[in-house]
Structure 1
Amino acid sequence: MNKKQKKSLTSLLILLVALAVGYFGSDKLHLGSKPDTTPSTTLNQTSKMLPSTIKQQPLPFKNQKQMVMADTDALGRAVDSHIQLKNSQEPRAKREPLTYNPVGWHNYNFYYKKDNGSIGKMWLMARGHLVGYQFCGLNNEARNLVPETAWFNGGSFVGMDDGNTASMLYYENRLDSWLANHPNYYLDYQVTPIYKGNELLPRQIRLAYVGIDQNGEKLTIKLGGGREKTGLAGATVVVLDNVAPNAKINYADGTAVNTVNPN
């Protein structure tokens, strides 16, 4: 065997050893196994932060107003919004018009059934704030807006009904009242949309709230309605469904079908 043949044989042996240990150059090879291409793996690769990883936990107490929002993820979705404030720190500025359309935004003028049995027509969707404007004073903020049904957002097809315990408004108005009745205390309020995979619209919204006194001690807040559960660090947690009784929603892209027949 000449030198050239020996050199070729040596190179071949090195290659075979590299393959045997599953390593070639700087890339690992998974011999005999299929790469994991499940949707959850794809989502982990494309999102900065998954909503399922957002922990329900009050902000550290600093005796000052705090507003912390997670960056929108790789799909453009709002991920988490969190505020800690006193009643005197609520915004006083006039609310500007909403012009920003959150990812997945579509709207439809759908039929719905009125309480008297007649049929009406109203817009299905709303640009829903995670932390409400009455607390944060933010309107066209991508990190704080998601598409929500008007029924879920305001408790009614038309106008507002804060007696609807399935709506955001029920809890927002009562937390606002709690602040007004406890002017020396802070409210810690965290709102987290819950998505399924790569869907653009959240199927649910998680609310978590707790009071804090001047010494930083946690104060449990209970608002009634039968949906509250105990969360971390003394917080109360509510999970609400982003639905409407008159529509079937495609959460993947935000489109919807009217389920009420006007005839």
Structure 2
Amino acid sequence: MKRTPSVWLKWLLVFVLLVGSTTTATAAAPATVAQARTVYVTRTGKHYFYSRHDRGLNHAKKVYAVSLTTAKKRGLTLAKTSKKKAAKKKPAKKKRVVKKKKSVKKKTTKKKVAKKKTTKKKSAKKVTSKKKPKVKSSGTYIAGASRYRVKVLNKNRPGFSKATLSTRKGAWQKYGRLDLYNRATPANALLNRKLMPKAKRQALYVNPTGWHNKRIKSGWLYNRSHLIGYQLTGQNNNLKNLITGTRQLNDPGMSKYENKVAAYLKASPKHYVRYRVTPVFKNHELLARGVKMQAQSVGSNKIRFNVYLPNTQAGMKLNYVNGLSKVAK
């Protein structure tokens, strides 16, 4: 019976030791975690920093690495720069979601632009597929569209000298000599109402160079074309004033400009027009390639032009060497 109390005392001591060790272990645990975290401080500073390269330590002469618990025991607080860095690390996931949405929008816009470009290219090909009339070096012309085209020269300025625009000697007309191939050369005049004929024109019977006329679908292929129109000077069967011209060259080509000049001259006896028509031949060809028409009203610009009219006919292939022709294919 005496031994029992000693046994109980032993068990009590063991129990007390076990309880004390667990409480001391739990109490010491947070202290060891705090001691494991290394922070950076200065000798006289009031704050501690998580990073050695924090901008708050840029001007410090010496920096010491201590445990977090040591820093707190000294009464140091966390620096503001370290707080900002810790706060910035969290919202990284939201930015990634926004970037994915933007990339999807860019892909859709690129596809729409590519479709528009392809439609433009197709329309451009259709425009360029139209056929244009061709001029061959052999002296033949293949006419394309039926529309007659006139080319404006020198911005429509005729370029006559002041001396030839003088009206002191009154109206006059001059025709160049025929060349070695009996072709007409430039015709010049200072036109006035006095030169205009009053009698009806007689039928033309002389044949200029390259005259090989024939019937086509639209009528006669060629006309005996006056360089200076009959209604302006009254010159008719004058080989120096005639060339072989297509119907298109004669009308609507030259007659359009001749009618404007005639209307201006008829309006007043004081109206004068300096006038020049030049047939354009190439090498020894007998059929003119076209004519150059120049006109300038004296004292005004009511009549003023400088144009080139081609000697062509729609749907016909002309041989400018001799004036022969055939239907264009």
Q: TM-score, normalised by structure 2?
A: 0.48
Runs of 4+ in 1 over 2 A off after TM superposition: 55-63, 218-222
Higher fraction of helix: 2
Instruction: State the identity as a percent.
Output: 31
Which aligned pairs between 1:17-28 and structure 2 lie closer than 5 A? none
How far residue 128 of structure 1 moved from its aligned partner, in angstroms, is: 0.3
Instruction: Say yes or no: does 1:196 pair with 2:302.
Output: no
SS at match of 1:173: helix
Q: Is the 8 A contact 1:203 1:251 kept in 2?
A: yes
SS at structure 2 position matched to 1:236: strand
SS in 1 for 2:217: strand
String of CA shifts for 1:197-218, please: whole Å, max 9, x gaps. Answer: 1111111110000111xxxxx4
- Which of these residues, 70, 79, 84, is aligned with residue 176 of structure 2? 70
For 1:135 and 1:201, how far apart are their aligned partners in 2?
A: 24
Map Cα deviations across residues 89-118 of structure 1 (whole Å, 9 max, x no partner).
311122111000001111011124xxxxxx
2:247 to 147, 150, 167: 150
Unaligned runs of 5+ in 2: 1-157
Q: Would the alpha carbon gap of residues 244 and 56 (structure 1) be closer, same or farther in structure 2, given more than 3 Å must change?
A: farther
CA–CA separation in structure 2 for the residues paired with 1:179 and 1:219: 13
Cα deviation per residue 1:214-250 (whole Å; 9 max; x = unaligned)? xxxx43235xxxxxxxxxxxx5311111111121111
Contact 1:126 1:150 in 2 (8 A): yes
Alignment of 1:170-189 (within 5 A): 170-189=256-275
| Aligned-partner Cα distance in 1 for 2:323–2:246 | 10
- Alignment check: 8 A CA contact 2:171 2:194 kept: no
**Alignment-derived partner of residue 68 in structure 2:** none
What residue number does 1:253 align with? 322
Aligned-partner Cα distance in 2 for 1:138–1:189: 15
Change (3 A) 1:201 1:56: farther
Q: Is this contact kept in 2: 1:188–1:209, CA < 8 A?
A: yes
Higher relative contact order (CA 8 A, sep 6+): 1
**Which of 96, 103, 115 is residue 209 of structure 2 equivalent to?**
103
Q: Which amino acid aligns with 1:177?
A: A
Q: Do the aligned partners of 1:220 and 1:236 also contact (CA within 8 Å) in 2?
A: no
**Corresponding residue of 1:94:** 200
Greater shift, 172-181 or 99-108, is seen at 172-181
1:56 offset after TM fit, Å?
Answer: 6.5
**Matches of 1:109 and 1:141 in 2, distance apart?**
24
Match of 2:310 among 234, 241, 244: 241
Give, in angstroms, the shift of residue 194 of structure 1. Answer: 0.8
- The CA distance in 2 between the partners of 1:199 and 1:210, in whole Å, is 30
Q: 1:60: how far off?
A: 5.3
Q: Deviations over 1:8-38 (max 9, x none)?
A: xxxxxxxxxxxxxxxxxxxxxxxxxxxxxxx
Q: CA deviation at 1:180?
A: 1.9
Partner of 2:188: 82
Matched AA of 2:318: I
TM-score (structure 1 length as normaliser):
0.60
Conserved? CA contact 2:197–2:232, under 8 Å: yes
Q: Deviations over 1:58-101 (max 9, x none)?
A: 63523412111110100000011111121243111221110000
Matched position secondary structure for 1:219: coil
Give the number of the structure whose alpha-carbon radius of gyration is greater: 2
1:136 to 223, 233, 236: 233
1:243 partner SS: coil
2:297 & 2:280 partners in 1: Cα distance?
Answer: 24
Q: How many residues align?
A: 169
Q: Which runs of 5+ in 1 are unaligned?
A: 1-54, 113-121, 156-166, 213-217, 223-234
Whole-angstrom CA distance in 1 between matches of 2:195 and 2:286: 33
Q: Secondary structure at the match of 1:128?
A: strand
SS in 1 for 2:306: strand
